[in-house]
Amino acid sequence: MTVHLSNIGFHRLRVCSMGRGPATRPPGTLEGGMMADFDLSINIEFLFPFINAVARNAQLFDNPPHIRFSFEHTLCVLYPDRGLASPFDDKEDAGAFMVRFIAYLNDIYHRQESIEPRHKCFSHTATTQILKLLPQTNCNECGFNTCMAFAAMLGRQQTIPGRCPHISRPLQEKAVFPVHDDNGKLLSTISLDIDNTENMDALESARNYIRNLEKKIEALSLVKSELQQEANQELPSPLSRREVQVLQMLALGSTNMEIAHALHISPHTVKSHINNIFNKLAVNSRTQASVWATQNHFI
């Protein structure tokens, strides 16, 4: 269903610094730096499934309706008529970003007819709950150093359960169905449990296919690892192994607290590693460090 309204704009942009600790930050935003809080000129809930289809790392939630995604390595959270984005170095940085961000939303808005909407919704599951599904042996077979790191990334839908060979098979699958009003506008979604017993063979075959793909990815990872080492050695002062781990988690959007939990170090030590990383990379923000990590194949 395509909705034609006037273009999307924003007003009442407020840029404020974010407090430390999850209790002082809106859900989903990152620690440190500045956060942009803005009102949208129209209600864009109808656009969420289209954003969900094309935006990087998109996660759609239905209660309350909002969508999280990355744009230019910045975490964006959109509600029907307002939004949040973080982190920024200063007000100027946030203002320039907003111009590009609104242009991006308008581009999706105008391309609706050529985008297949994605209605898949997520419910947030706490990392500690996901951890209960894992044997907590920290065996590293999933590619994450700890089960906690894997659980944190799984909770953010940034990895898939199948990467841990020790996790149990799902008992049931959920299907999300759209509920429309008389004009075809999306009102909400309803999730139904589906008995997938008959699909287990197909699931197993898909898992084998994924395992084969993972072998190929492993071969590519060796190449990636060489590129990483090359880039690191070219720095005036190369990153230590621990700094590389911190950089990778930082680039994936983890907060200092999450990095500290995953690597079993204190938040103070994480902060000190991040300062060293900034100095060695000659950058002064998490965004710039993330861009460097991406460009040099660290994530």
- We find the least distance from the C-beta atom of residue 58 to ligand SF4, in angstroms, to be 24
Residues paired with residue 121 on neighbouring β-strands, in sequence order: 60
- We find the least distance from the C-beta atom of residue 162 to ligand SF4, in angstroms, to be 10
Rounded to 10 deg, the angle between the 286-295 and 267-281 helix axes is 60
State which residue, 151 or 251, has the beta carbon closest to ligand SF4. Answer: 151
Q: Which of residues 150-179 bind ligand SF4 (CB under 6 A)?
A: 150, 164, 166
With CB under 6 A as the rule, give the number of residues binding ligand SF4.
13
- We find the least distance from the C-beta atom of residue 125 to ligand SF4, in angstroms, to be 15
- The stretch near ligand SF4 (CB under 6 A) out of 65-73, 89-97, 143-151, 242-250 is 143-151
State which residue, 111 or 166, has the beta carbon closest to ligand SF4. Answer: 166
- Name which position in 43, 137, 212, 275 contacts ligand SF4 (CB under 6 A): 137
Note whether 141 binds ligand SF4 by CB under 6 A: yes
- Name which position in 57, 70, 138, 288 contacts ligand SF4 (CB under 6 A): 138
- Name which position in 18, 84, 142, 153 contacts ligand SF4 (CB under 6 A): 142
Note whether 112 binds ligand SF4 by CB under 6 A: no
Which contacts qualify for 20-27: CB closer than 8 Å, 24 or more apart? 21/257, 22/255, 22/257, 26/77, 26/84, 27/77
Place of tokens 């940034």: 158
Residues that bind ligand SF4 (CB under 6 A): 134-135, 137-142, 144, 147, 150, 164, 166
